[in-house]
Structure 1
Amino acid sequence: MTAGNDSVPELLPMVFAAPNEALARARALLDSDPPPSHASVAHQVIGIWQRDWGDLRLALEHLRRARDLAARAESPEREADVLATLGVALVHAGRTRQGLAAFEQGVRRGSGHTRARVLYRRAYVWWVLGHHREALEDVRRAIPVLRQTGDVIWTARALTLRATVHLALGAVERAEADFTAAEALWDTTGQEHDKADAVESRGLAAFRAGDIPAALRLLDEAQERYAKLGTPTFMLTIRRCEVLMAAGLAPEALAEADAAIAVLDGIGGQSTRKAELLLVAARAARLAGDPGTAIARAAVAVRLFSGQRRGWWEAHARLVLIEARFASGRGYGRLVADAARVAERLESSGAPAAPEAWLLAGRIALHLDWTADAERYLRVAARSRRSGPPLARITGWAAQALRARAAGSGRGVLEACRCGLAVLDDHRMTLGASELRARATAQGAELAALAQAVSLAGGGPRRLLEWSERWRATVLTAPPTRPPADPVLQSGLTAFREIAARAEEARRDGRPVPALEREQRRLEREVRSRTLHMRGDAPGGGYRFDVAGLLERLGDGRLVALAVLDGRVQVLLCGGGRVRRFAGGQVERAEREAEHVQATLRRLAHPRAEGRLPLVEAMGRRLEEVLLGPAARHLGSGPVVVVPPARLHSVPWALLPSLRERVVSVSPSASSWLRARETEPPAGGRHVLVRGPGLATGGAEVPEVADRYGRATVLEDADARVPRVLEELDGAALAHIAAHGDFRADSPLFSSLRMVDGPLIVHDFERLARSPYRIILSSCDTARLASVGADELLGLVTALLPLGTAGVVASSAPVNDEAVVPLMLALHKGLGDGLSLAEALRDARAALPSDATHQATGWAFTAFGAA
């Protein structure tokens, strides 16, 4: 490949339009023994490519060669241009003083248009260093000259940079105006890399404005554009990780940041980017509950930023380091002063993170009972509660709540918590994906806990019930946004199902599956990504809990709501016209007992485990002691609804002695139980029975159940395909699905029921206009759920309840297929006699043989909801 003299000026614009082609042409040009000015351009192009996407050491070698060749060519303008490129590379290499000196020389050597380009690149470096006012000054000087000379590309770059600086200072509206103007200019050019950068920048703007779905969508689009150009995307990774953390996906952000650091180290890339990635990784580790990793990453980031003379960034890294040390219980006294100094530095530079730092300083001071210092710091932090993006306002309301608590004002705490959670309500409902809605609730966990603590101390059981309901199972308060008619999402779901079915068949045949599993994971990421892009369409501030209405609807029944405060279970017993509180045991003990019970139930699902039956019964007695305490003696004689916290969702409640012979149902919240009670069955009363493949009994109960209902729709063999099953389930009065269940703890919305053509997953159920009024899942693990956010659950059962299902029967453990058959037949007999799901399940358990396998099978199934 050769490059003629007339094409040399095109090489520099080409490096951001078609980077790899520009690199190849520059190398070909050097092979043709060009004159010094042309060789200078070629070395500069190679240097830019290596600087941004390769080895920084090689970049500096080529750029110094380009500078020397420009001097030999006696071209001050060429020399100034190369000095600016070299200055950027030196700063990215951590040689800040040398880089700024190169810019000073470049500004002196250049004039007019060239000097404007040098100023733009120095403005970029000021932004990298965190000197935002200097960056705005240089770009202010550059833009008029670039516009006057008709330089569309560099004008668009300068506008994009100015917008990015505005975002760093929290000026979102100014940033959006500049991004809009830049994008209009990019549409007139062929600069594909710069166009991708513009999309990425719009994603950053959407994030700063609080629109997480739009941010994820735009960043994914930018990633696709960069992939076509074959260029690495470290800055995009940093921004995507920030959005993931705000969306409650900190473990994913940590994994992505660490992977990018490994790649960057492998190619000898920019040390500035490495420092930024380490900062992101440290924040992600802290949010993921791993303070040790956070301290390690943040400490290295602090050293790098300090050596690079990047004080603004260093302050952010120190903030994370202090947060992580506080979380790990280290050096509280010194940390107060450290946090206050960091807050002052962030405040003076206009950083949006300043309120977070003031809140941290106040929080540590409160921990030490330094009330005067705490009040001073929290007062400053609380100023952010009135304006700005949602998460910043929530930080302000948290500070206000802590101020009120320190002042002994319970009313003030509750008012601040109420306002902060209202902000989070509105923010949560902008999210369309149920996963993001669930994870977003973690932002309100502290506010909810503060309100509950105040209610426990002096508000009475009713108020404690109201506040425990306020932030419990909020994802179920409104139907999820229905996935749009997105052909990409639809084809992704179909392809995922086909690959998953092929992988399952290969496993059964003993054939290798690594390639199929890789493709399955890729398709899962694609489906999940499209789902996370959905924007919410439901208004915030929806359903409000009414204690009086609950007590009226309970009749002679009881509702047992369990709240966890300071590690202890608080039992709120509702019924008989009042709410009473009883003290339970330590929640950690209850979790351990529940895990042991689940393990034992798994063993009882197999024959020859008879000797373990007394053991599991003893576990049930211990669980009751911890979970219900003295409340067990006050349950009355009517039905019982249990409302456990998310962390206790795996308890088999029918195993508890006081509940074993009762009508018992479980609900994620009292509010969702009330809504289930008010749900009307659909007209027509259609019954749908589904038999999936591979069951040991072949779903033997289905034909007999079909005979019982007469005109039931039976889907089996070739008819038991996901599209047909979904079509029949939509709006049915009763559905019974006999199919293998697979719970995915790593990705709960991919938990599935196996159909003939592959898995029927939670994402499929969310496409229903109305899920069946009653649904029975007669297979393993269908009631297993993942606890996320503040007190949320993700899985098959919780996907159905907001979509119109009033009641579900499902199992929380592996079950014996043969023992399931008589349980299901007895259950349907009860339903045919007019019983509710909970009543029919109680009678069905009582009708089972008394051996260990059948008893364990009965305990494994739970009735959810109120149908």
Structure 2
Amino acid sequence: MVFAAPKQAVARAEEVLGSAPSPLHASVAHQVIGIWQRDWGDMKLALHHLRRARDLAVRAESTDREGDVLAALGVALVTAGRTRQGLDALERGVTVSSGHTRARVLYRRAYASWVLGRHRESLEDVRRAIPVLRQMDDVIWTARALTLRATVHLAVGAVERAEADFAAAESLFDTTGQEHDKADGVESRGLAAFRSGDIPAALRLFDEAGDRYAKLDTPSFMLYIRRCEVLMAAGLAPEALAEADAAIAVLDGIGGQSTLKAELLLAAARAARRAGDPHTAIARAALAVRLFAAQRRPWWETHARLVLVEARLAAGRGSGRLVADAAEVAERLAGFGAPAAPEASLLAGRIALRLGWTADAERHLAVAARSRHSGPPLARMTGWAAQALRARAAGSQRGVLEACRRGLDVLDDHRMTLGASELRARATEQGAELAALAQRASLDSGHPRRLLVWSERWRATALAAPPTRPPADPELLGDLTAFREIAARAEAARMEGRPIPALEREQRRLEREIRGRTLHIRGDAPGFGSRFDPGRLLERLGDDVLLVELAVLDGRVQVLLCGQGRVRRFEAGLLAEAETEAEHVQAGLRRLAHPGAEARLPVVEAMGGRLEELLLGPAAAHLGSGPVVVVPPGRLHRVPWALLPSLRERVLSVSPSASSWLRAHETEPPPGGRHVLVRGPGLATEGAEVPELAGRYGGSTVLEADEARVPRVLEELDGAALAHIAAHGTFRADSPLFSSLRMADGPIVVHDFERLDRSPYRIILSCCDTARFASVGADELLGLVTALLPLGTAGVVACTAPVNDAAVVPLMLALHKGLSSGLSLAEALRDARAALPADATHQATGWAFSAFGAA
């Protein structure tokens, strides 16, 4: 009963102990309480009750009872870090028991061996136990043994065997009332899905298991550990670190299992390293190493040492000693048959290369490269990264590019199994090293066109295909509606000065629910579609349009001018200096948005000049006089490009990638030419341009006041030719897909736009901060504009900075005047800026708006 209804089982056991039981019955009751405390409570109490249960079993003169209790006690001692005592208790349990009971004891010794990382011993014991359990028709324990065997198979990389055992165990558990075991089965299937490369399925199954544990009111620390591993693979390392640290605090608070604490510390160390925090990673990993060593768990200790070496390298501690440490870790992992062995060999090779030890590097990299042809996607990526480094050390540019291509192809296929745009974007981080190696080889080759190809190969790839549309999930729709209502109530309370902590907590809960459901969505199919063709780009650009792509190598901006049938390369300034200057420009624009800042105008204009030197360098003198498309790296997404002197009077548009511009350029407008004008609440000007635009566009759909509600707005936007939305915009740096526009019934968020069959062909967002993005992954952007571009929008006008609401109105009217006369968005925006008054506020407003795409 303790794994079917844990709390009720403990209550029944306490009733038994209060009724003067026989030694046999008292032994069972103490064992039940001990098991509960062992798995979900205080280890000291667990050991007290289990030792009491053992003594009572001896008094009852039942060897099978004694063997069963010794097995539970042995597991408790092992998970408390008292490995030798625990193994002795388990050995004694096997010796004194027989038949059916001995099979159960063997299962628990196999479990203890798995905890210790002794996988061969674990498989041997569980294989001995399963036939006896089946013969005795012991459904529950047979299912548990199959689940354990599957888990051990996964630890050594035998995914197919694991999946077969998990399936068999699940069918058996379905015939029982063992709710905790069922939840564990769902969790185990999630682990199998992850090992086979299906991250959305793993997240969905882990969430389902978590819901089941919550209903039983039992924490599951193993679920935290496994979920952290999946979050890291999905590029969500900061979240994984937060979850691991929170679980450690809970475990410490209840005096829980020492073995679980060590594993959580290892998960936290891995997450900190991937989150770019090597010092936290070193601290967590070093403590994990000490705990694993004290617990006599060499398999786990070696994995923790691998993270420790990685973190020390990331902290700049490369040395010959570190090469030796990594090589020793690789050898030990290979001896264990651990799937992480190639990763350690790659690490040893990488450090050796930095030290110039080419022979040592080749030896280690050759071992790591063997994994490139088999295994899960990230393991194959490790192999291709090793192969690329081998080729670079051998001076083979062709070999480097081939290995990088093959490795990124693997990651492309993996990413396209992810339905959520956020996961696709963040997963690109896994390929950052390969992309950088390919770009460096391309630069060294002296062929600008090749550098352009590789710059595009790993730029804004999450926008190359629309995210998988969420299914018609009534719970997701309900959560979005509830989120909107709560957000609207919180906004109203905030404006009235009322406290809103309860509303904020509920809003955060709903955000977690919505995000979780979208992360569960699986991509439509593997495959990345057509590759970038520079010839096709140059053909579409023709002789008039110039595309300026900025690549960053070793921290310096490389400018690629594409047009007139050729690609030219120029070297500009340092990216870090450009980022700093861009932040100064943003501060200047914010100041100019308020009256009385006229004196700051020349200062901001001078900043634009310095920014041009850093970003374009000598290329600025070769821009010609025609339209310009700027393709910046993700970290420069907030640059107001129209402020740069050589671009100030230009027909100028911005695109996340050359591929995105091509797709937008070739997008056909929808039939019908519907115009939709939306006016949200609370604007200082009340969206004053909307009534005038309604008169200009006869027959347009105008949504304002109570009609500007999210469901109606989405309905009208779907497939429109032109949409103009005047509404307050909010950018969420902490959760960019909850960036929003304020409607009458609450915010319309990126998740809402992703449900459109086709977003408007052209869309104009006349409000602050709508063109802000979060830069994630290798070179990806998440935000409102980037959500629209893959869904059929060819062009967007949006704002990168806070602006003066009153100054926006004449800019928007002039912009639409140009559109009405047949101009493109970029042409109309250029003319609209020129038509504005020359004062600082209007000039800053014009610079803050950009045209994105190609319409």
TM-score (norm 1): 0.98
The equivalent of 2:731 in structure 1 is 743
Q: Distance in 2 between matches of 1:472 and 1:129?
A: 43
Alignment of 1:400 onto 2:420: no
CA contact (8 A) 2:47 2:77 kept: yes
Instruction: Please report how far the alpha carbon of residue 539 of structure 1 lies from its aligned counterpart in structure 2 after TM superposition.
Output: 3.8
| Equivalent position SS for 2:815 | helix
The equivalent of 2:720 in structure 1 is 732
The equivalent of 2:113 in structure 1 is 126
How many residues align? The count is: 854
Instruction: Please report how far the alpha carbon of residue 600 of structure 1 lies from its aligned counterpart in structure 2 after TM superposition.
Output: 1.4
Identity %: 84
Match for residue 248 of structure 2 among 261, 264, 273: 261
The equivalent of 1:273 in structure 2 is 260
The equivalent of 1:770 in structure 2 is 758
Alignment of 1:431 onto 2:418: yes
Alignment of 1:677 onto 2:665: yes
| Equivalent position SS for 1:572 | strand
Opposite residue 483 of structure 1, the aligned amino acid is: P
Write out per-residue CA displacement over residues 659-706 of structure 1, whole angstroms, 9 at most, x where no aligned residue. Answer: 000000000000110110100000000000000000000000000011
Match for residue 282 of structure 1 among 249, 269, 281: 269
Instruction: Please report how far the alpha carbon of residue 140 of structure 1 lies from its aligned counterpart in structure 2 after TM superposition.
Output: 0.5
CA contact (8 A) 1:557 1:637 kept: no
Q: Distance in 2 between matches of 1:279 and 1:170?
A: 19
Q: Distance in 2 between matches of 1:174 and 1:49?
A: 31
Q: Distance in 2 between matches of 1:511 and 1:229?
A: 37
CA contact (8 A) 2:318 2:351 kept: no
Alignment of 1:541 onto 2:528: yes
The equivalent of 2:314 in structure 1 is 327
Q: Distance in 1 between matches of 2:597 and 2:242?
A: 42
Write out per-residue CA displacement over residues 335-373 of structure 1, whole angstroms, 9 at most, x where no aligned residue. Answer: 000000000110011101011000000000001010000
The equivalent of 2:465 in structure 1 is 478
Match for residue 603 of structure 1 among 591, 594, 603: 591
| Equivalent position SS for 2:678 | strand
Instruction: Please report how far the alpha carbon of residue 544 of structure 1 lies from its aligned counterpart in structure 2 after TM superposition.
Output: 1.3
Opposite residue 53 of structure 1, the aligned amino acid is: W
The equivalent of 2:677 in structure 1 is 689
Instruction: Please report how far the alpha carbon of residue 718 of structure 1 lies from its aligned counterpart in structure 2 after TM superposition.
Output: 0.7
The equivalent of 2:828 in structure 1 is 840
The equivalent of 1:388 in structure 2 is 375
CA contact (8 A) 1:29 1:42 kept: yes
Q: Distance in 1 between matches of 2:851 and 2:319?
A: 48
Q: Distance in 1 between matches of 2:313 and 2:27?
A: 53
Instruction: Please report how far the alpha carbon of residue 541 of structure 1 lies from its aligned counterpart in structure 2 after TM superposition.
Output: 2.7
CA contact (8 A) 2:555 2:574 kept: yes
Alignment of 1:584 onto 2:572: yes
Write out per-residue CA displacement over residues 280-304 of structure 1, whole angstroms, 9 at most, x where no aligned residue. Answer: 0000000000000000000000000
Opposite residue 677 of structure 2, the aligned amino acid is: L
Instruction: Please report how far the alpha carbon of residue 545 of structure 1 lies from its aligned counterpart in structure 2 after TM superposition.
Output: 1.1
User: What is the CA RMSD across the aligned residues, in angstroms?
Assistant: 0.6
The equivalent of 1:524 in structure 2 is 511
The equivalent of 1:6 in structure 2 is none
Q: Distance in 2 between matches of 1:852 and 1:638?
A: 27
Match for residue 93 of structure 2 among 98, 103, 106: 106
Opposite residue 200 of structure 1, the aligned amino acid is: E
Q: Distance in 2 between matches of 1:375 and 1:573?
A: 38
Q: Distance in 1 between matches of 2:827 and 2:503?
A: 45
Instruction: Please report how far the alpha carbon of residue 48 of structure 1 lies from its aligned counterpart in structure 2 after TM superposition.
Output: 0.4
Alignment of 1:377 onto 2:360: no
Alignment of 1:433-832 (within 5 A): 433-555=420-542, 556-832=544-820
Match for residue 287 of structure 2 among 300, 308, 319: 300
CA contact (8 A) 1:650 1:812 kept: yes
CA contact (8 A) 1:477 1:543 kept: no
Match for residue 66 of structure 2 among 69, 79, 88: 79
CA contact (8 A) 1:481 1:538 kept: no
| Equivalent position SS for 1:793 | strand
Deviating runs (4+, > 3 A) in structure 1?
A: none
Return closer, same or farther for 1:367/1:261 CA change in 2, 3 Å cut-off: same
Opposite residue 736 of structure 1, the aligned amino acid is: H
Instruction: Please report how far the alpha carbon of residue 559 of structure 1 lies from its aligned counterpart in structure 2 after TM superposition.
Output: 0.5
The equivalent of 1:11 in structure 2 is none
The equivalent of 2:14 in structure 1 is 27
| Equivalent position SS for 2:339 | coil
| Equivalent position SS for 1:714 | strand
| Equivalent position SS for 2:120 | helix
Write out per-residue CA displacement over residues 779-824 of structure 1, whole angstroms, 9 at most, x where no aligned residue. Answer: 0100000000111000000000000000000001111110100000
Instruction: Please report how far the alpha carbon of residue 599 of structure 1 lies from its aligned counterpart in structure 2 after TM superposition.
Output: 1.3
The equivalent of 1:88 in structure 2 is 75
CA contact (8 A) 2:552 2:558 kept: yes
Q: Distance in 1 between matches of 2:607 and 2:285?
A: 44
| Equivalent position SS for 2:650 | coil
Instruction: Please report how far the alpha carbon of residue 477 of structure 1 lies from its aligned counterpart in structure 2 after TM superposition.
Output: 1.0
Instruction: Please report how far the alpha carbon of residue 568 of structure 1 lies from its aligned counterpart in structure 2 after TM superposition.
Output: 0.2
| Equivalent position SS for 1:505 | helix
Write out per-residue CA displacement over residues 225-245 of structure 1, whole angstroms, 9 at most, x where no aligned residue. Answer: 000000011000000000000
Moved more, 546-555 or 241-250: 546-555
Q: Distance in 2 between matches of 1:160 and 1:604?
A: 65
CA contact (8 A) 2:414 2:526 kept: no
Q: Distance in 2 between matches of 1:844 and 1:467?
A: 36
Q: Distance in 2 between matches of 1:720 and 1:632?
A: 44
Alignment of 1:236 onto 2:223: yes
Instruction: Please report how far the alpha carbon of residue 331 of structure 1 lies from its aligned counterpart in structure 2 after TM superposition.
Output: 4.7
Write out per-residue CA displacement over residues 1-26 of structure 1, whole angstroms, 9 at most, x where no aligned residue. Answer: xxxxxxxxxxxxx0000001101111
Write out per-residue CA displacement over residues 571-600 of structure 1, whole angstroms, 9 at most, x where no aligned residue. Answer: 000111111000000000000001111111
The equivalent of 1:41 in structure 2 is 28
Instruction: Please report how far the alpha carbon of residue 33 of structure 1 lies from its aligned counterpart in structure 2 after TM superposition.
Output: 1.2
**Structure 2 gaps, min length 5:** none
The equivalent of 1:344 in structure 2 is 331
Opposite residue 550 of structure 2, the aligned amino acid is: L
CA contact (8 A) 1:478 1:538 kept: no
Match for residue 365 of structure 1 among 347, 352, 358: 352
| Equivalent position SS for 2:642 | helix
CA contact (8 A) 2:197 2:376 kept: yes
CA contact (8 A) 1:688 1:729 kept: yes
Instruction: Please report how far the alpha carbon of residue 218 of structure 1 lies from its aligned counterpart in structure 2 after TM superposition.
Output: 0.2
CA contact (8 A) 2:130 2:145 kept: yes
Write out per-residue CA displacement over residues 200-236 of structure 1, whole angstroms, 9 at most, x where no aligned residue. Answer: 0000000000000000000000000000000011000
Instruction: Please report how far the alpha carbon of residue 538 of structure 1 lies from its aligned counterpart in structure 2 after TM superposition.
Output: 4.1
Match for residue 179 of structure 1 among 166, 185, 188: 166
Q: Distance in 1 between matches of 2:396 and 2:597?
A: 57
The equivalent of 1:3 in structure 2 is none
The equivalent of 2:299 in structure 1 is 312
Instruction: Please report how far the alpha carbon of residue 612 of structure 1 lies from its aligned counterpart in structure 2 after TM superposition.
Output: 1.1
Match for residue 68 of structure 1 among 55, 63, 67: 55
CA contact (8 A) 1:81 1:114 kept: yes
